[in-house]
């Protein structure tokens, strides 16, 4: 069964740090881009960061650059999100997702589609004093 399981969430004080882990099973983890998405209580989805299959490329939403770091260990089928200088507004459910890369030729043009087809159940981070 294809599965993603997040862990590492919890209660942390403002200014603190936390590392989230996402463990993959049932597919070839080392062949896939992976993404972190978060959702604040009662709010919509926010794309946080992603990382290429071999870890050589990483991208972040501008507002989190410098505080959050995405990484992976393909030998352990694991994705990580290191979060530092946490703020109250970082309180959210954090999801990891498999990011499928699908090059498609349409009418002679090449399109490079990405979509998230497998999601974990999420881990909750609460930043509060």
Partner 1 sequence: DIQMTQSPASLSASVGDRVTITCRASQRITTYLNWYQQKVGEAPKLLIFAASTLQSGVPSRFSGSGSGTDFTLTISSLQPEDLATYYCQQNYKVPRSFGQGTKVQIK
**Chain contacts with partner 1 (rule: CB under 8 A):** 35, 37, 44-47, 50, 59-62, 95, 100, 102, 104, 111, 113-117, 119-122
Residue closer to partner 1, measured from CB, 107 or 129: 107
Nearer of residues 32 and 35 to partner 1, judged by Cβ: 35
Nearer to partner 1 by Cβ, of 38 and 86: the residue is 38
CB of 47 to partner 1, least distance (A): 5
Q: Look at the alpha carbons of 20, 123, 90, 64 in this order and tell me if their dihedral is positive or negative.
A: positive
CA 31 to CA 123: how far, in whole Å?
A: 24
DSSP for residue 61: -
Q: What's the min distance (Å) between Cβ of 24 and partner 1?
A: 14
Q: How many CB atoms lie within 10 A of CB 68?
A: 21
Instruction: Work out how close the CB of 6 gets to partner 1 at its nearest, in angstroms, rounded to a whole number.
Output: 10
Inter-residue contact 75 to 112 (CB < 8 Å): no
- Structural element, H or E, at residue 24: strand 18-25
């Amino acid at each position: 069964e294809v599965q993603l399981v997040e862990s590492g969430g919890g209660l942390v004080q403002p200014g603190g740090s936390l590392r989230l882990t996402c463990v993959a099973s049932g597919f070839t983890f080392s062949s896939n881009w992976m993404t972190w998405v978060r959702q604040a209580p009662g709010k919509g989805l926010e794309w946080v960061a992603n990382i290429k299959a071999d870890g050589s490329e990483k991208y972040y939403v501008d507002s989190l650059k410098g505080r959050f770091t995405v990484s992976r260990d393909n030998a352990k089928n694991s994705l990580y999100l290191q979060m530092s200088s946490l703020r109250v507004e970082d309180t959210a459910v954090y999801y990891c997702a498999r990011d499928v890369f699908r090059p498609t030729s349409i009418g002679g043009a090449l399109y490079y589609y990405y979509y998230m087809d497998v999601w974990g159940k999420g881990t909750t981070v609460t930043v509060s004093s």
